[in-house]
Amino acid sequence: MFVVVCYDIPSNKRRSRVAQALEGFGYRVQKSVFECEVTPRQMDKMKERIARRTKASEDSVRYYTLCASCLGKVEVAGIGEVRRAEPFFVV
Protein backbone atom coordinates (compact mmCIF):
# COMPACT_ATOMS: atom_id res chain seq x y z
CA MET A 1 0.00 0.00 0.00
CA PHE A 2 1.13 3.54 -0.72
CA VAL A 3 0.89 5.85 2.30
CA VAL A 4 1.62 9.55 2.68
CA VAL A 5 2.66 10.39 6.24
CA CYS A 6 2.52 14.04 7.37
CA TYR A 7 3.38 15.34 10.80
CA ASP A 8 3.36 18.53 12.83
CA ILE A 9 5.56 18.11 15.90
CA PRO A 10 6.72 21.18 17.87
CA SER A 11 9.60 19.44 19.67
CA ASN A 12 12.80 19.31 17.61
CA LYS A 13 13.92 16.14 19.38
CA ARG A 14 10.65 14.24 18.79
CA ARG A 15 10.39 15.55 15.23
CA SER A 16 13.90 14.27 14.45
CA ARG A 17 13.11 10.87 15.97
CA VAL A 18 9.94 10.56 13.90
CA ALA A 19 11.78 11.51 10.70
CA GLN A 20 14.51 9.01 11.47
CA ALA A 21 11.94 6.25 12.05
CA LEU A 22 10.13 7.07 8.79
CA GLU A 23 13.35 6.97 6.76
CA GLY A 24 13.28 3.21 7.30
CA PHE A 25 9.89 2.96 5.59
CA GLY A 26 9.90 5.45 2.72
CA TYR A 27 11.14 8.66 1.13
CA ARG A 28 11.09 12.16 2.56
CA VAL A 29 9.41 14.37 -0.05
CA GLN A 30 9.06 17.53 2.07
CA LYS A 31 10.35 18.52 5.49
CA SER A 32 7.48 16.85 7.36
CA VAL A 33 6.06 14.58 4.65
CA PHE A 34 7.07 11.04 3.70
CA GLU A 35 5.80 8.72 0.96
CA CYS A 36 5.96 5.08 1.96
CA GLU A 37 5.18 1.89 0.09
CA VAL A 38 4.56 -0.71 2.79
CA THR A 39 2.75 -3.94 3.52
CA PRO A 40 -0.08 -3.92 6.09
CA ARG A 41 2.31 -5.49 8.62
CA GLN A 42 4.94 -2.80 7.95
CA MET A 43 2.24 -0.14 8.30
CA ASP A 44 1.38 -1.45 11.76
CA LYS A 45 5.07 -1.47 12.72
CA MET A 46 5.52 2.06 11.36
CA LYS A 47 2.54 3.39 13.35
CA GLU A 48 3.81 1.66 16.48
CA ARG A 49 7.27 3.24 16.11
CA ILE A 50 5.76 6.67 15.49
CA ALA A 51 3.45 6.35 18.50
CA ARG A 52 6.43 5.59 20.75
CA ARG A 53 8.18 8.75 19.54
CA THR A 54 5.28 11.22 19.80
CA LYS A 55 3.03 12.79 22.44
CA ALA A 56 -0.65 12.55 21.55
CA SER A 57 -1.39 15.72 23.55
CA GLU A 58 1.10 17.84 21.55
CA ASP A 59 1.85 16.18 18.20
CA SER A 60 -0.15 15.44 15.07
CA VAL A 61 0.60 12.64 12.62
CA ARG A 62 -1.63 11.88 9.62
CA TYR A 63 -1.60 8.77 7.44
CA TYR A 64 -3.17 8.99 3.97
CA THR A 65 -3.46 5.66 2.15
CA LEU A 66 -3.75 6.08 -1.62
CA CYS A 67 -5.37 3.50 -3.86
CA ALA A 68 -3.72 2.63 -7.18
CA SER A 69 -6.17 4.85 -9.06
CA CYS A 70 -5.50 7.82 -6.76
CA LEU A 71 -1.75 7.29 -6.91
CA GLY A 72 -1.90 7.66 -10.69
CA LYS A 73 -3.48 11.09 -10.24
CA VAL A 74 -0.77 12.54 -7.99
CA GLU A 75 0.68 15.73 -9.45
CA VAL A 76 3.97 17.31 -8.48
CA ALA A 77 4.58 20.99 -9.20
CA GLY A 78 8.18 22.08 -9.04
CA ILE A 79 11.00 19.78 -8.08
CA GLY A 80 10.40 16.21 -6.97
CA GLU A 81 8.65 13.11 -8.14
CA VAL A 82 6.56 10.29 -6.76
CA ARG A 83 9.14 7.62 -6.02
CA ARG A 84 8.08 4.00 -6.36
CA ALA A 85 10.28 1.23 -5.20
CA GLU A 86 10.14 -2.25 -3.79
CA PRO A 87 8.65 -2.12 -0.30
CA PHE A 88 11.20 -1.45 2.43
CA PHE A 89 12.01 -4.30 4.76
CA VAL A 90 12.48 -3.16 8.32
CA VAL A 91 14.00 -5.58 10.81
Residue 9 maps to which CATH number?
3.30.70.240
Domain for residue 91, yes or no? no
pLDDT at position 91 = 52
Which pTM does this prediction carry? 0.83
Residue 15: inside a domain: yes
Task: State how many domains the chain has.
Answer: 1
Question: Got the DSSP string for 46-79?
Answer: HHHHHHHH--TTT-EEEEEEE-HHHHTT----SS
In-domain check, residue 56: yes
C-beta separation of 82 from 76 below 8 A: yes
Q: What is the pLDDT of residues 33-55, one digit of tens each?
A: 999 999 999 999 999 999 999 99
The rounded mean pLDDT for the chain is: 89
